[in-house]
Amino acid sequence: MHARNCFKTLLLCLALLAAAGCDRNNDSRPAATDATSNTPLEFRQLRPGIWMHTSYNTFEGVRYPSNGLIIREDDHLVMLDPAWGAEATAALLTRIDEEIGLPVKRAFSTHFHGDRTDGVDVLAEAGIEVMAHPLTLELSAKDGGPAPSTALDGISKPGSAETIGSVEVFYPGPGHAADNITVWVPGEKILYGGCAIRELSTDSLGNTADADLAGWPKAVKRLQARYPDARMVIPGHGAPGGSELLDHMLHLFARRTSGN
């Protein structure tokens, strides 16, 4: 136990030393560890004005990553999903302040599960409006977790979209969850798929406890039809890719149907 604690301390010191030597907005900066919560948080720039944050949670000894995006809009920022949990979200806000130095004006939660909503209370305390599908507010309250503040009534039906600031919020229909939404960044042709999209390396649909397995492939096909020129697709968990991630999703469903 003593050796493990020493090793953790050494890793923390190395992370802090690395952070001190890096320039602001440097996308090569290594993962930082919040000294209070000991919560790992990765933060890197994907494109000018667009950063991806990745936080982690551990279940049954396995550590899982969870992605989100930060988008610059003139003199403020937009957050696509908080980090995974209140501590990680507080650490994310600190990291944004230190590395970007602009306020977060609004945020989106892409469905009601904890990896997308457990940090919304921290955002609300910071005066940040959190928007979501109307079902997300309902399901979050039913689940007993933190709920976003604002329902996007204009995207209640499958295939509906609403432009808010520099992004388009799209509801492809039920999939990973009944309320999963996606966000399109037209300036960079980036599709933030959230948990409706799986990373290319996985051969599993992941957590399907609240999934609509019949509707999910239809939702993916709506995404393909609406965003055929997507250059980058960001899954809710794991590595970003291109439009092949959408093809991969349909392959997973086809394999599931065939039993192979």
pLDDT per position as a tens digit, 109-143: 999 999 999 999 999 999 999 999 999 999 999 99
- Reply yes or no on whether the pLDDT at 12 is more than 70: no
Handedness of CA 36, 37, 38, 43 (dihedral sign): negative
Q: Which residue out of 53, 113, 133, 248 is catalytically annotated?
A: 113
Average pLDDT rounded to a whole number, residues 33-50: 73
Q: Is the pLDDT of residue 228 over 50?
A: yes
Q: Is the pLDDT of residue 251 over 70?
A: yes
pLDDT reading at 260 higher than 70 = no
Average pLDDT (149-169) is: 97
- Percent of the chain past pLDDT 70, that is, above it, reads 84
Do the beta carbons of residue 158 and residue 182 sit within 8 Å?
no
User: CA-to-CA distance for 80 and 126, rounded, in angstroms?
Assistant: 16
**Average pLDDT over the chain, rounded to whole?**
87
Q: What is the mean predicted confidence (pLDDT) over 153-173?
A: 97
2 is catalytic: no
Domain that holds residue 117: 2-258
- The CA distance from 69 to 78, in Å, is 8
Instruction: Specify the residue for token string 């999963």.
Output: 180
Is the pLDDT at 27 greater than 60? The verdict is no
Cα 35 to Cα 47: distance, rounded to the nearest angstrom: 28
Catalytic annotation present for 207: yes
Residue 133 is among the residues annotated as catalytic for this protein = no
Active site residue 111: yes
Q: What are phi and psi of 120, to 5 degrees?
A: -70, -30
Phi, psi of 195 (to 5 degrees): -80, 0
- Does residue 41 contact residue 55 with C-beta atoms inside 8 Å? yes
Asked if residue 165 has pLDDT above 70, the reply is: yes
**Per-residue pLDDT, 60:** 83
Q: Is 170 helix (H, G, I), strand (E, B) or coil?
A: strand
- Number of compact structural domains in the chain: 1
- Whether pLDDT at 98 is above 50: yes
Q: Assign residue 43 the CATH number of its domain.
A: 3.60.15.10
> Is 176 among the residues known to form the active site?
yes
Catalytic residue chosen out of the listed positions 34, 115, 118, 179: 115
